[in-house]
Chains A and B, each alone.
Chain A
Amino acid sequence: AQSVTQPDIHITVSEGASLELRCNYSYGATPYLFWYVQSPGQGLQLLLKYFSGDTLVQGIKGFEAEFKRSQSSFNLRKPSVHWSDAAEYFCAVGSTNKLIFGTGTLLAVQP
C-alpha cells in the first residue's frame, strides 16, 4: 500500500538552529516526492519536489531535501531557521493529481 509517514507531529527549534523534518514513504513505483508548507489559515505551498536525477533538491525559502532510496526517505532540511518558518509541513508522494500526504509536522520556532 502507498503511504507516507511523518513521525514527528510537533517540533520546536530555536531561531538560527538547523532543522530536519523526517519523511518516510511506501510506494510501488519510482516515487514523485514533494514537500508542502501550510501557514495558519492558508492553503499549501510547494517547497520542493523530486522526480529524478540529483537526489539532493533545492527548494524555495532556503529549504532542501535529500532522496534516499535505500531508506525510503525524503527528509527536509534547512541550515538556519527563521521565525517566519513556523508552519505545518507536509510530505507527499505520488503524481501531482493523486498525491498521498503525510499527517504533517508542526514546526514552532523559539526566539
Chain B
Amino acid sequence: NAGVTQTPKFQVLKTGQSMTLQCAQDMNHEYMSWYRQDPGMGLRLIHYSVGAGITDQGEVPNGYNVSRSTTEDFPLRLLSAAPSQTSVYFCASSYNRNEKLFFGSGTQLSVL
C-alpha cells in the first residue's frame, strides 16, 4: 500500500496561473479532504468528499475547486493562483467519518 500520494511535492506559480494538485489513495477510503497549513494557523479545511461524486466546502474554499470522479482520486484545482494561496497543502483520507485521517506528505506551493 502506498497510502496517500500527493504530487507534486513542490510547485512555483505566477499570479493568475492555474494548476491541479493531485491526490490519490489506495486504501479504498470513502472520505478524502484537502487542508492548507500556514504558519501560526494550523491546518484549515479547504474541501472534502464523503464519496465518489460528492464534495462539499470546508472552512476556506474560495479560489479552489475539487471533484471526485473515483474513490481513489481527489484533485484540487487552483483556478487563478494568488500570492495568498502560498501554503503547504495536505490531502488526507479516512475509512469513515470517525476513523483516523491518513495524510499525504504535502505539496509546498509558492505563488509569486
- Give residues in A with beta carbon < 8 Å to B: 4, 9, 32, 34, 36, 41-46, 49, 51, 90, 95-104
Contacts and interface: CB of A to CB of B under 8 A. Distances in A.
B103 A44 contact: yes
Given A32-B98, A96-B98, A97-B31, A43 B104 contact: yes
B43 A42 contact: no
A16 to B, nearest CB: 29
Nearest to A91: B42
A96 B96 contact: yes
Interface residues of B, number: 27
A44 B42 contact: no
A97 B42 contact: no
Contact of A44 (B45, B94, B101): B101
Contact of B48 (A36, A45, A97, A102): A97
Contacts of B58: 98
A96 B42 contact: no
Contacts of B40: 9, 103
A101 B98 CA distance: 15
A101 B43 contact: yes
Given A9-B40, A41-B106, 4 more contacts: A43-B4, A43-B90, A98-B45, A101-B43
B87 to A, nearest CB: 14
B77 to A, nearest CB: 20
A46 B93 CA distance: 12
